[in-house]
Amino acid sequence: MPRPAKQSPVRKAVFPVGGLGTRFLPATKALPKEMLPVVDKPLIQYAVEEARAAGVEEFIFVTGRGKSAIEDHFDHSWELQESLTARGKQAELAEIQSWLPAPGQVAYTRQQEPLGLGHAVWCARHLVGDEPFAVLLADDLVLSETPCLAQMAKVYGRVGGNLVAVMDVPREQTGRYGILDVVQDDGRLAEAKGLVEKPRPEKAPSTLSIIGRYILRPEVFAELDRREKGAGGEVQLTDAMARTIGRIPFHGLRFEGRRFDCGSKAGFLEANIAFALDRPDLGAEMSEILGRYKDALEKA
């Protein structure tokens, strides 16, 4: 795993991985959607490595039924290790061991009912305790030089409060995101005076949208305790964060990098292309392959 940042303000990260992944059926019938690979690595591993690179030391997964492949992925695999050793495959052996969390660094808790993202995060309250924590949604994948959460941790050291990653989206897409009601904006960091979960385009206070990276104060748990239902009849993290504004500063960081919505088929396919092109061992071959589709693209 990448080396942790020095003195990160955030030691714990929550990964809500209880969702069903119906958009990727039949692939996700028996496979958790977070285990879908981009190139050769499951989505959830990108998220865990990103948290680690930002200095996170404790990884809290909020899981659900049928998600045991995620637990197995972050555990030793004796059969595989023994068979790689026996065959002298040292590089492969070192690779699968390099990113494994140390014993006791991972915790799993179950979200027993699908009551929304806010409820999933609330399920981790005892494991997080009374300290700032990160939330990473594995569906949102960011390709960048400095990992997205590490960019945020740096800014968090300066602004504190609650901080989310944001990007501008076309107005017709506001209904897919949590949207900031912006009060101040320097082009990189925006301060919000309110938040709305999935507003219709004509009702959206801006087009600045939350993507799945959060650094949150533990006070958000007190708001989630109310288990109030919001958009879509679900307990929304956005609503809980919105209720802390006024007491706790709220900022959105326009991170550097490209974000892929791996919760959608097109976004997931694009992520595979972009990550493959970015890989030293695959980039040239991939670009040659894509070149073969030039004619087809021109005709389309």
Q: Is 209 in the site for ligand G1P (CB under 6 A)?
A: yes
For the chain, give percent helix, strand, coil, nearest 5.
40, 25, 35
Distance CA 16, CA 109 (A): 10
Examine residue 26 and say whether the peptide bond preceding it is cis (omega within 30 degrees of 0). Answer: yes
Q: Is 140 in the site for ligand G1P (CB under 6 A)?
A: yes
CB-nearer residue toward ligand G1P: 83 or 173: 173
Which string of x and - marks every residue 26-65 that binds ligand G1P (by CB under 6 A)?
----------------------------------------
Q: Is 134 in the site for ligand G1P (CB under 6 A)?
A: no
Residues 6 or more apart whose CB falls under 8 angstroms from that of 294 comprise none
Say how many residues touch ligand G1P, by CB under 6 A. Answer: 14
Residues 6 or more apart whose CB falls under 8 angstroms from that of 80 comprise 96
Beta strands in 114-267 (DSSP E): 133-136, 140-143, 162-168, 178-185, 189-197, 208-216, 250-254, 258-261
- From 68-76, 77-85, 204-212, 244-252, span contacting ligand G1P (CB under 6 A): 204-212
Q: Is 260 in the site for ligand G1P (CB under 6 A)?
A: no
DSSP β-ladder status, 189-197 and 178-185: antiparallel
Run of H or E residues at 67: none
CB-nearer residue toward ligand G1P: 48 or 141: 141
State the residue number with the nearest CB to ligand G1P: 178
Q: Which of 48, 190, 210, 220 binds ligand G1P (CB under 6 A)?
A: 210
Considering only residues 221 through 240, tell me which ones interact with ligand G1P, judged by CB under 6 A: 236-238
CB-nearer residue toward ligand G1P: 156 or 260: 260
Q: How far is the CB of 37 from ligand G1P (least distance, A)?
A: 20
Q: Among 141, 120, 136, which Cα is nearest to 43's?
A: 141
Q: Is 262 in the site for ligand G1P (CB under 6 A)?
A: no
Which string of x and - marks every residue 164-193 that binds ligand G1P (by CB under 6 A)?
-------------xx---------------
Q: How far is the CB of 237 from ligand G1P (least distance, A)?
A: 6
Q: Is 197 in the site for ligand G1P (CB under 6 A)?
A: yes
Distance CA 133, CA 121 (A): 11
Distance CA 11, CA 133 (A): 7
- From 94-102, 126-134, 185-193, 207-215, span contacting ligand G1P (CB under 6 A): 207-215
Considering only residues 90 through 129, tell me which ones interact with ligand G1P, judged by CB under 6 A: 117
Amino acid at 105: Q
Residues 6 or more apart whose CB falls under 8 angstroms from that of 244 comprise 162, 217, 219, 220, 223, 250
Distance CA 94, CA 112 (A): 36
Q: How far is the CB of 137 from ligand G1P (least distance, A)?
A: 6
Give the footprint of ligand G1P on this chain (CB under 6 A).
Answer: 117, 137, 140, 177-178, 197, 209-212, 236-238, 263
